Structure 1
Amino acid sequence: MSRATVELPATTRAFLTRPHTATLTTLRPDGSPHVTPVRFTFDAATAVARVTTRATARKAQNVATGGSTARVALCQADGFRWVTLEGQATVADDPARLAEAVRRYTVRYRAAPPAPLDLVVIEIAVESVLGLNL
């Protein structure tokens, strides 16, 4: 996964550390959007967002099916403030990558994420950021 450099204002970086829920939009095999609420983390230094989920979840399947062209949008909103992170996504079950995703999630949300046996991480190489009122 290539790492993009994304410059973010301090207010946007701060907003992305607050323990909000976001929506993740992936594309089904027929091209229609699948939107689901998720918790996520964002590493501004590497421009990588992470979402933990089950391997059998539709969002993970959509990303895996999309291969090297799987693009997603992750949008966090709070009233009239919002930020959307867009980029290429991959699904990983590598133990080290899962451990890092769980560690970051636990720091952000102050509780560990659910830990099903088929836990995977969707990693998003963020290439563009849109936002309002940040």
Structure 2
Amino acid sequence: MSGPVDLHSPAVREFWRERHLCTVTTLRRDGSPHLVPVGATLDPAAGLLRITASRTSAKVRHVLAGARQVAVCQVDGARWCTVEGLAEVRDDPESIAEAERRYAERYRTPRPNPERVVLEVTITRLLGSARLQA
């Protein structure tokens, strides 16, 4: 069984601290989905998910063009979780530093990138496998 999961449940929080790659789906101008692998970090206290990206990437261009609805999913065997929400592109130094710090905690220190921006997703829905619904 799968369905809504609680952003603040210990199982969900732990799953999003483990090192897993994710995918983000954005929408092209024609409405077709664009899906790419990303590293993502969950901030339950703020109700946000963050993705660092280059400002020239397609996912960033889609959001800047107004396609703000995104979905981010991670899977590990029978466990999965999808975050849906509205994305904004942040390019201020504080937002980038916070996203880099969180990325380093979950994955590794990100390589230098002067074109780095942050896709900051305000979470509107969280879905997951039965193993995360406990």
TM-score surpassing 0.5? Answer: yes
2:122 is aligned to 125
The answer to whether residue 98 in structure 2 is matched with residue 80 in structure 1 is: no
**Structure 1 CA distance, aligned partners of 2:72 and 2:11?**
18
Encode CA deviations 1:63-121: one digit per residue, 9 max, x unaligned. 1111xx61100001001110000000001110010000001111111x21232221000
**Structure 1 CA distance, aligned partners of 2:112 and 2:23?**
20
**Structure 1 CA distance, aligned partners of 2:7 and 2:40?**
19
1:93 is aligned to 91
Encode CA deviations 1:45-80: one digit per residue, 9 max, x unaligned. 0110000010000011111111xx611000010011
**Structure 1 CA distance, aligned partners of 2:17 and 2:76?**
13
Which deviates the most, 35-44 or 113-122?
A: 113-122
Q: 1:1-134 to 2 correspondence within 5 Å? A: 7-66=7-66, 70-109=68-107, 111-132=108-129, 133-134=131-132
**Structure 2 CA distance, aligned partners of 1:10 and 1:113?**
27
Tell me how large the CA RMSD over aligned residues is: 1.2
SS in 1 for 2:110: coil
SS in 2 for 1:107: helix
TM-score by length of 1: 0.90
CA contact 1:50–1:122 (8 Å) conserved in 2:
yes
**Structure 2 CA distance, aligned partners of 1:54 and 1:7?**
28
Q: Any stretches of 5+ residues in structure 1 without a counterpart?
A: 1-5
SS in 1 for 2:17: coil
Q: Aligned partner of 1:48: which letter?
A: L
TM-score by length of 2: 0.90
**Structure 2 CA distance, aligned partners of 1:104 and 1:21?**
14
Q: Aligned partner of 2:65: which letter?
A: T
Identity of aligned residues (%): 44
CA contact 1:52–1:113 (8 Å) conserved in 2:
no
